[in-house]
Amino acid sequence: MKFVLLLFNIKSNTNIGQLIRTANAFGAEEICVIGRKKYSSFGNQRTASSTQFRHFYKVEDALEYYKSQHYDVVGVEITTTAVSINESNFEKNTVFILGNEGTGIHEKILTQCDYCVYIPQFGSGASINVNTACGIVFNAFTKEWGNHNSIEGYKFESS
């Protein structure tokens, strides 16, 4: 199975760079960027050059494209109908949409998702950083993959 990170309405350039790095580390097929073509990718640790990108001006066009390619569109958002990431069994190629740092995923976009997942929390905070959420979700998606990059010393060597 493959997965795509859809970047829409992420405000912080540092978060964008970190999301690129995380998506690359977990083997995302591509990162889909909505709207602006120019953005800072500060913090990506030189992974942007080896990451595939796709661009759409409107989120609706991106969702239509991925659905035509038979991807599930999954919102990572706290909603009354969301399923715990710990109980999710991903069965198809998946596009993950993560919410804006302050406002989350807009209701109009949530209605276009096939379903939503949330990350259980136990502390006093209302949510977690978008890049941290991304890593948790991608780890859950890839946990059955098995053949990760080899370890050389204290780092992974890409294959």
Given a cut of 90, whether residue 119 has pLDDT beyond it is yes
User: Is the pLDDT reported for residue 36 higher than 80?
Assistant: no
Could you tell me what percent of the chain has a pLDDT over 90? 64
Helix (H, G, I), strand (E, B) or coil at 20: helix
pTM of the model: 0.90
The pLDDT score that the predictor gives to residue 84 is 97
pLDDT-derived band at 78 (thresholds 50, 70, 90) equals very high
Q: Across residues 59-87, what is the average pLDDT? A: 97
Residue with structure tokens 């502390």?
123
Sign of the Cα pseudo-torsion (21, 25, 26, 28, in order): positive
**Can you give the pLDDT at residue 15?**
87
41-50, 127-136, 139-148: segment of lowest average pLDDT: 41-50
Model confidence band, residue 122 (pLDDT cutoffs 50, 70, 90): very high
Neighbouring CB atoms inside 10 A of 48's CB total: 16
- The 3-state DSSP class for residue 132 equals helix
Domains of the chain: 3-145 (3.40.1280.10)
CA 112 to chain centre: 16
Taking each helix axis from N to C terminus, what angle separates 13-25 and 130-142, rounded to the nearest 10 degrees?
10
Region 88-116: what's the mean pLDDT? 93
pLDDT computed for residue 39 by the predictor: 62
Compute the mean pLDDT over every residue in the chain, rounded to the nearest whole number: 90
Inform me whether the pLDDT recorded for 35 exceeds 60. Answer: yes
Give residue 158's pLDDT: 74
CB burial readout 80-97, b (16+ within 10 A) else e: eebeebeebebeeebbbb
Span 136-148, mean pLDDT? 92
Residue 1: CB atoms within 10 A of its CB come to 14
Residue 123 above 90 pLDDT?
yes
